[in-house]
Structure 1
Amino acid sequence: MTIGNDDLLKKIASLEEEVGQLRQAVVSHAVIDQAIGVVITHGSLRPDQGWHILKTVSQHTNTKLREIAEQIVQWPHCGWLPESTRRALEAALARG
């Protein structure tokens, strides 16, 4: 059975797209892990609590988890969080 050039090109394009998506997922996962570290350090929490806080902030601000994670990772460097993120983080930490 032979595969035509068009089929090979389609398969290559599909695989390249999949690789791009996997690379993005790895980067997102790393940023989220870093943000959990910032949250657990800031709030003196366990890692599972940090994950819960991060999800809660994302839900209460209606912001994608990856965006919240990026903001929180940058926070120690720039000393600033968007107001809505800061309020949601403080509230989530207060609730535990």
Structure 2
Amino acid sequence: MSSPPTSPLDERDEMEALRRECEHLRAAVGAHEAVDQAIGVIVAVGRVEPAVAWDVLREVSMNRNRKLRLVADTLVAWASGRGELPDDVRRELRVRLASALRPT
């Protein structure tokens, strides 16, 4: 049994859906890359394990009420000399790193 013929409208709808999905996937890959790089910055600056750096990054994002990707982009730009680290993010990063390094 063969499938019914598709109309040009159906094909256009499918192409548009695939285009949107592709854009979404590209954005997700870019966000993942920025977060991974930011974790690397925190590991280097804070001398902590990657799992701790992830927690620090997430907490800075939550406590500063900024999207994780934006905090990550800011950290990466700062580390590469392409931007400033906002004072509130710098303070929060310092607090979170101190907390992470405090013996329990």
Shorter chain as denominator, the TM-score bin is over 0.9
- Match for residue 83 of structure 1? 87
TM-score (norm 1): 0.96
TM-score (norm 2): 0.89
Runs of 4+ in structure 1 deviating by more than 6 angstroms, as ranges, are none
Larger radius of gyration: 2
Give deviations 1:35-58, integer Å, cap 9, x for gaps.
000001100000101100000000
Counterpart residue type for residue 45 of structure 2: H
Unaligned runs of 5+ in 1: none
- Match for residue 97 of structure 2? 93
- Match for residue 26 of structure 1? 29
State the shift of 1:79 in Å. Answer: 6.7
Unaligned runs of 5+ in 2: none
- Match for residue 74 of structure 1? 77
Q: CA RMSD in A?
A: 1.0
Between structures 1 and 2, the one with greater helix share: 1
**CA–CA distance in 1 between the matches of 2:44 and 2:37?**
11
Aligned-pair identity in percent equals 36
